[in-house]
A = this chain, B = another copy of it.
Amino acid sequence: MYKIGELAAACKVKPDTLRFYEKNGLLHPANRSDKGYRIYSDDDAQQLRFILRAKAMGFSLSDIRELLNIEASRSDWACADVKGMVEAKVQELQTKIDEMTRLRDSLQELADACCGGPESAIHCSILDTLETK
């Protein structure tokens, strides 16, 4: 059984983060002390670690809420459901990667065309390109 500061320290997050997760339906402490302090169980601690691991894998908090629902009653779901979520996330990331790669290449091309020298930018091809596409 942990008080909020203890669990937060153990998982290297701030107490406010745990309150935020609670407000957003991700982690409710098992109970409260008679004075109203949040008391977290070992199961809660494990669930927090689940949340943090999923976050580190790139899932949003709303993805994680879904994953926790599935985890809470695994037998109601199929592997296909879970794998589908993960693959959708892969696709989402891939789309962003592609877009950023495209931007990076355009910028690199822009940079390559500029002499990069110490003289005045009056003739700078980068500015020229931005000025008149």
Contacts and interface: CB of A to CB of B under 8 A. Distances in A.
8 contacts: A46-B131, A54-B130, A78-B121, A79-B118, A79-B124, A80-B117, A86-B110, A90-B108
B104 A97 contact: yes
B83 A127 contact: no
Interface stretch (A6-14, A17-25, A29-37, A66-74): A66-74
Contact of A89 (B82, B107, B130): B107
A74 B106 contact: no
B114 A83 contact: yes
Interface residues of A, number: 54
Interface in A75-127: 75-84, 86-87, 89-90, 93-94, 96-97, 100-101, 103-104, 106-108, 110-111, 114-124, 126-127
A64 to B, nearest CB: 9
A2 interface: no
The 9 A-B residue pairs with the shortest CB-CB distance, nearest first, are A58-B103, A83-B116, A93-B104, A86-B111, A83-B114, A77-B121, A74-B121, A75-B120, A74-B122
